[in-house]
Amino acid sequence: MGTAIVVTSGKGGTGKTSLTGGVSSCLAALGNRVLCIDMDIGLRNLDISLGMTDRALMDFTDVLEGRCALKRAAVQHPVIENLFLLTAPLTLADGSIPEGRMRAFLAQAKTEYDYILMDSPAGLGEGFRLAVCGADRGVVVSTTDTSALRDAQRVVAQLSKRLPYIHLVMNRVQPKLLRRLHTTIDDAMDAAGLPLLGVVPEDEQVMLSANCGQPIILASRKGAAVAYLNIARRLMGQKIPLMHIR
């Protein structure tokens, strides 16, 4: 039985979608069968991070409504063979989706995939509600600025009511900026109130890879690519030391 993980953040701009794509790619490269689901209805971008733009013809509502089987709707990555994408719809024609239907869908998906990573939209809207209702674990992505950490606290308050396991990823970390702000990663952990799953440095290769239409692990062996790999291994239960970012 697979594990469904919701990746979320309190505000936009934290790099949540890039992290979802990067960690998913690493999990698949490590031999796991991985399904990525873009839950950001109307503002989907996960396909860009995965290098799968315009490949997905069906979205997750096609599966939920019975118009298409999961095996047909989920599109396989052209290079990373264990990686699959199910995108979000541009709109919800019939309003909100019942949580029971989403849970049933994810229960089915967990029989076919080792990991399901759901890229939830920032904030606490419809996409967040759907992703959380069927998840087993939560990953909250934040940067070190005060507003991002405050919004992360609000998300944690909602997740803690629904999920037994929630972790924090500090993303886009810039050590020089931390020193100027006289703060540390430990301070950020205390502010969010979560155990740390990983630390990802600010890395221009994330944007470069997305613009070139390929996952970062196919283009880099340092920086964010290594951090994503470490996070993937920790999700698999391995004990990996935190990256030391200089």
Binding-site residues, please?
11-18
Nearest to 216 by CA among 54, 28, 77, 21: 21
Bind-site residues for ATP: 11-18
* Residue 94 phi, psi dihedral angles, 5° rounding: -105, 25
CA distances from 221 to 34, 139, 214 (A): 21, 23, 14
Give DSSP secondary structure letters for 152-210.
Answer: HHHHHHHHTTT-SEEEEEEEEE-HHHHHHHT--HHHHHHHHTS-EEEEEE--HHHHHHH
CA distances from 22 to 34, 119, 127, 135, 231 (A): 12, 12, 20, 19, 10
